[in-house]
Amino acid sequence: MANLSGQVIASRYLVKSLVASGGMASVYLAHDNVLEREVALKVIHPHLAKDKSFVEKFRREAKVAAKLSHSNLVNVFDQGTDGEVIFLVMEYVPGITLRDALNDFGALEPNKALEIIEPLTSGLAAAHLAGILHRDLKPENVFLSDGGNVKLGDFGLARAISQHTQTGSVVGTVAYLSPELVLRGQADARSDVYSLGVMIFEMLTGSQPYRGEQAVQVAYQHANDNIPAPSTVNPKVPELLDEIVLWATARNPADRPASAATLLPVIARARKDLERGLTTSLQDIDKTARINFDSDFVPAAGATEVLETTPPQSTGLESNNAQRLRRSNKRSRFWLILATLFALFGGAGSGWWFSSGPGGLAAIPDLSGRSLEAAIEALLPLGVAVEQAEENSADTKAGFVTRTDPQAGARVFKNSTVTVFISLGPKQITVPEVAGLGTQEVASLLTEAGFTPGELKQYFGPNPKGQVVGLSAEVGSILNQGSTIDILVSLGPLPEVAGLPADEARLLLAGLSLTLKESEVFDNEIAQGLAVALVIDQTPLPEGGNAVLEISKGPEIIEMPNIIGETIAAAKTVLESIGLRVVVDTNQLSSNFGIAKVKRQSPAAGTQLRVGDSVTIISR
């Protein structure tokens, strides 16, 4: 589809740049001109906008996601249609996806992986408690923000939970599909848990559990094989995380956690135990803990507490996991070879998100629009040094903060230096000379100068067609940086039509972008049926401007009246009123024209004349 950058959607959302494009829609970074904030604008592809089923799926995403509100879910703000553009407005999450992190850094250290897994599970639990399945869990839909937050997004395949939701067809990304989706096309909350377990496996090992040249090969393995323990690929994975993955990815849905809300307290406890350096297994974490989840509350990452602990009960989980671990050992040689290969290419989970991200000491707040004093007051508690710099800004009033370096959301250590930029107001720029340049050259020149190229406005005039003749602002004038300037382009001169047959004149004008009317007029010089002139109401004439094609009716014939005996003044008035030009042949002073009489006239009364002809009145 055509790039929408620069357009305003629904008279509200200014599209700034394309962020990503998938099989169903494109996502743009946009500015909400009403609420003055950055948003993500998801636009369905034009060829799919004609398909009612796709449009309904797209609108269902908005309705489903709008029901959810949680710190670890991407919020949906708006949905609508603007002409042929069908769009969804979501929270903009600056940062990277989990897929980006895995591609860049490979396998993550267990404690770092849990920094993502717990808030991710918390967000999914919120969806499950609201009665919503995600059905397309994959690293591409997990966002790691610049501020250190983890957010789950893209509920494009989401459905309300029933005991067994029939999908009608296998959906989701095949690498993360549960066995029941592959075999029966049915899903419930435990299907999302399976996909989450596969993602945890990938975070801990740097690879997906099943690979194949075709999607059907991967689907077959999900349906017929058990996901191996992550430690068979990455020996650094502790037993506890092995067991969590094996529990979440059990082939029989009945052997999995009932939902993400069931899995969340176990994940939270595992994270705490690993942070404390405790060596535990799943049986050490009481799976029968009673946690009272309010229907509108899901604990945020790091806030879960295990309450009312009771002695472990035999659930069959321990023996099931032990058997699966023993089976997986038979394949350990193969996986250990792969682990060696992954170790060559996969990082230890270090990198941006874990160093200057959540591992940093403090996040820089968004200070844009504040006074310098307020900015310093906000930064002092972070223990950073503050430096001041100035810059021009078309968007921020002079004397107020435009931005910081490092930018808002970045995490910094104590004693770091943060530069606060103060607006000097818009930069004043001289409008350049552009006559004779091409339109692309002019647009580039305006952009480089600091202006915003506006519309191409075309005019009929003496310059050759396509030549830039000027700008909507006077050359040499001073304007604010960012001002919009239209480019004036010549459509070429209007054709000469005088003396052409009417049909030929009409054909000549038909290809021009004019609002054309016709009028019949008398003309002494041009014969009846020929074009007299093309009359325009302004010069230069803009594209689509008004023009009148005058067609001759021939000369207008009048009869010479008898004015003998009338005063010179009276006779002159009568003759001029009917369109004749009057010559006075007299020896009288003009002061006597109201008294002196006309004695003769030329031509004689009754003579046929044309309007504009000359006649003579004689008084001697």
Active site residues: 136
Joined tokens for residue 250: 């059990």
Beta strand 546-552 pairing with 531-536: antiparallel
Residues linked to residue 484 through DSSP beta bridges, in sequence order: 452
| Three-state secondary-structure class, residue 386 | strand
**Tell me, what amino acid is at 211?**
R
Q: How far apart, in whole angstroms, are the C-alpha atoms of residue 156 and residue 605? A: 92
Q: Which of 607, 612, 611 is nearest to 562 (CA)?
A: 607
Q: CB–CB of 203/116 below 8 Å?
A: yes
Q: Say if residues 379 and 410 touch (Cβ distance below 8 Å).
A: no
Q: Beginning with the edge strand found earlier in the chain, give each strand of the sheet holding 401-405 in spatial order.
A: 385-391, 417-423, 401-405
* Structure tokens that stand for 51 in this block: 């398909």
3-state secondary structure of 181: helix
SS3 per-residue string spanning 199-249: HHHHHHHCCCCCCCCCHHHHHHHHHHCCCCCHHHCCCCCCHHHHHHHHHHC
Rg (CA), the chain: 41
The amino acid sitting at 363 is A
> Smallest Cα–Cα separation from 508: which of 526, 495, 489?
495
Rounded CA-CA distance 201/119 in Å is 16
Q: Where are the beta strands (DSSP E) in 395-514?
A: 401-405, 411-412, 417-423, 428-430, 452-460, 468-471, 478-480, 484-490
**Residue 481 neighbours by CB under 8 Å, 6+ apart:** 392, 394, 426, 427, 428, 429, 450, 451
Q: And the tokens for 94?
A: 């600056």
Handedness of CA 184, 327, 275, 358 (dihedral sign): negative
Q: Tokens 């269902």 appear where?
A: 60
377's CB contacts (< 8 A; 6+ apart) are none
What are the tokens at 162?
């029933």
- What is the C-alpha to C-alpha distance for residues 246 and 345, in angstroms, rounded to an integer? 25
Nearest C-alpha neighbor of 411 from the set 382, 440, 446:
382
Is 459:541 a contact under the CB 8 Å cutoff? yes
